Amino acid sequence: MSSVAPTDPARRLLEHRTGHPVISLYLDLDPERFATAPARAAQVRSLIDQAARQLDAADGLGHDDLVTLRADLRRIDDYLNSREPPFQGAGALGVFCSGRDDLFEVIQLPRPTPGRVVIGRVAYVEPLVEALQQRRWLVALVNRRVGRVLGGPVDRLEEHANFDEYVHGQHDQGGWSQARYERSVEKDAEDHLRRVADGVNQRWRSERFDRAAVGGPVEIVPRLESHLAAEVKANLAPGRVEVDLSSANDDEVRRALAKLVVEDEKELERETLDRLAAGVGSGGRAVGGPEDTLEALNERRVQTLLLEPGFDQRGARCQSCGLLMLKSGGRCPADGGVIEQLEHLREAAIEAALGQGADVMIVRHYPGLGPLQGIGALLRY
């Protein structure tokens, strides 16, 4: 199975664990609401004001931290009001800044995300995890004459190559016999499909993709597939993109692929939930429910953390060793450290999972986590 959640930027941000505060600001770029500069500017204003009020009310921050955070906030404000930010093509922007750590990172999110600003000891990455959970696709669409190779997350596919070949049909048949002519037409079609497949194979090796898909007439697609490299075939979605290449525009291609992607996601969720069900309780490699899942996270045994979209509750965490608990009170059983209350256990669980190299899967299509109170995990051992 390929990686469930390409969450590398989130992981990277979480590595900034120096104890210095980080501002995490998410700017919504929903085209229906924030397509214009004035609408964006109003949202920036409101988020910066919120952050300034949080700083005024904050206790527990030292003087140096406060001074740096106010400067960080001005820096974010200036940046978002400049011409620099990559608004184009993004559903939202995440901006992460910690002047004391030399951290200033901007990440494009593919989908709109509610505007929000959070100041904490680590970057607030949860919206990033959910948004980046989208997998990267490599798609080849063919017919006898034309081939297109596209790649990227499903809602931001970009054309990588366009094979529009001058194959027989327009050729002057000269004095060829019909049989010889037909053989030559077939050879041209085969050469064309091999060229498209070579393009796909090369692209697969030079970039990171999670899944591949093909589309085209039923008599052509298997011929294309036969030229695909083994590693592409191994990640090929079972369905086909249903689109007529001779007439489809980009939107139609995207819609056809989106349908296939939903089917593919459902299947992956189904498979993962089946593994969860088979492993829970029997002493196998899975746990379900908040208590057992936290224990597995604390033991760093989690391979994939599974969450319902709405899962959240309060919890607690040791400030020195990071041990997660359901209830606060007393001292950490492991090292006697101070226990902090958590408003959002969801966030802490995702953070812990990413910190131990686990994937995070938000289960959207099936209610399988319901009986487990919305949380579970597949284990490494």
- Between 205 and 300, CB nearer to Zn ion: 300
Q: How far is the CB of 117 from Zn ion (least distance, A)?
A: 29
Per CB under 5 A, 299 contacts Zn ion: no
Per CB under 5 A, 305 contacts Zn ion: no
Considering only CA atoms, which of 297, 334, 332, 293 is closest in space to residue 316?
332
Q: What's the Cα-to-Cα distance from 191 to each of 140, 161, 188, 267, 317, rounded to whole Å?
A: 16, 16, 5, 34, 61
Per CB under 5 A, 332 contacts Zn ion: yes
Among 112, 289, 337, 355, binds Zn ion (CB under 5 A): 337
Could you write out the DSSP letters of every residue in 165-198?
---TTSS--TT--HHHHHHHHHHHHHHHHHHHHH
- Between 43 and 298, CB nearer to Zn ion: 298
> Cβ distance 81 to 95 under 8 Å?
no
Place of tokens 């993004």: 90
Identify the three-state secondary structure at position 210. Answer: coil
Rounded-to-integer distance, Cα 221 and Cα 130, Å:
33
Among 42, 234, 262, 334, binds Zn ion (CB under 5 A): 334
- The phi, psi pair for 131, rounded to 5°, reads -70, -35
Identify the three-state secondary structure at position 8. Answer: helix
Q: How far is the CB of 316 from Zn ion (least distance, A)?
A: 11
User: Using CB atoms within 10 A of its CB, is residue 64 exposed (0-12), middle (13-18) or buried (19+)?
Assistant: exposed
Identify the three-state secondary structure at position 107. Answer: strand
Q: How far is the CB of 337 from Zn ion (least distance, A)?
A: 4
CB neighbour list of residue 305: distance below 8 Å, 6 or more residues apart? 293, 297, 349, 350, 353, 358, 359, 360, 361, 375, 377
Q: How far is the CB of 301 from Zn ion (least distance, A)?
A: 18
Per CB under 5 A, 289 contacts Zn ion: no
> Cβ distance 123 to 197 under 8 Å?
no
Site for Zn ion in 268-287 (CB under 5 A): none
Per CB under 5 A, 37 contacts Zn ion: no
Per CB under 5 A, 91 contacts Zn ion: no
| # residues contacting Zn ion (CB under 5 A) | 8
- Between 89 and 336, CB nearer to Zn ion: 336
- Between 222 and 336, CB nearer to Zn ion: 336
> Residues 308-327: x/- map of binding to Zn ion (CB under 5 A)?
----------x-xx-x----
Considering only CA atoms, which of 171, 231, 172 is closest in space to residue 205?
231
> Cβ distance 23 to 97 under 8 Å?
yes
- Between 74 and 331, CB nearer to Zn ion: 331
Q: How far is the CB of 335 from Zn ion (least distance, A)?
A: 4
Q: How far is the CB of 283 from Zn ion (least distance, A)?
A: 27
Per CB under 5 A, 71 contacts Zn ion: no
- Between 76 and 345, CB nearer to Zn ion: 345
Q: How far is the CB of 317 from Zn ion (least distance, A)?
A: 9
Per CB under 5 A, 348 contacts Zn ion: no
- Between 332 and 363, CB nearer to Zn ion: 332
Q: Which residues bind Zn ion (CB under 5 A)?
A: 318, 320-321, 323, 332, 334-335, 337
